[in-house]
Amino acid sequence: MSDDRIIVGTISGSFGVHGDVRLKSFCADPEALADYTPLTRADGTEIMTIVIKGQTKGALIARVDGITTKEEADGLRGMDLFARRDQLPSLPDDEFYHTDLVGLMAFDTGGEKLGRIKAVQTNGAEDLLEIISPLDKDTVLVPFTKVIVPTVDLAAGRIVIDPPGGLFSED
């Protein structure tokens, strides 16, 4: 995938029988997803129009151009939607798009390598960095707070973590 595209949502299935879809939005304002059209589906197809019709538990209800039946909507379940980076708002210095954090190397405050960021998980209260530890090949979830992650250096491809005791395996 190109670095100029950022995932902004996922089609999570159909809603009703007339081709409406359930959309899981990854935007700070969930309905802003429709403002970033045209979007590109993971299969390369462009979506020119999304009309938000309402909300259901954990998802938006929307009409997406090109989808007219329940079967078409169900066939797109799990399809990621991408916006071009230049369509999205610029972020303040202390905010990051999740896609920019994935793949960064994580070091502790003493310079020891802790692992690589595999994913950023959002649980509602705070984001968690999922880090693959090179020592035991397990993943470690680290709260993504300013206290625990004081430095994010996108240009250098690294973050610095001051982890609570016992979070990472000791040598």
* Domain endpoint, select from 68, 87, 106: 87
pLDDT digits 0-9 by tens, 63-85: 998 899 999 999 999 999 999 98
In a domain, 170, yes or no: no
**What's 66's domain CATH number?**
2.40.30.60
**What's 152's domain CATH number?**
2.30.30.240
Residue 1's pLDDT is what?
42
In a domain, 68, yes or no: yes
Residue 138's pLDDT is what?
81
pTM of the predicted structure, to 2 decimals: 0.73
Distances (CA, A) of 6 to 2, 10, 40, 79, 112: 9, 12, 10, 14, 30
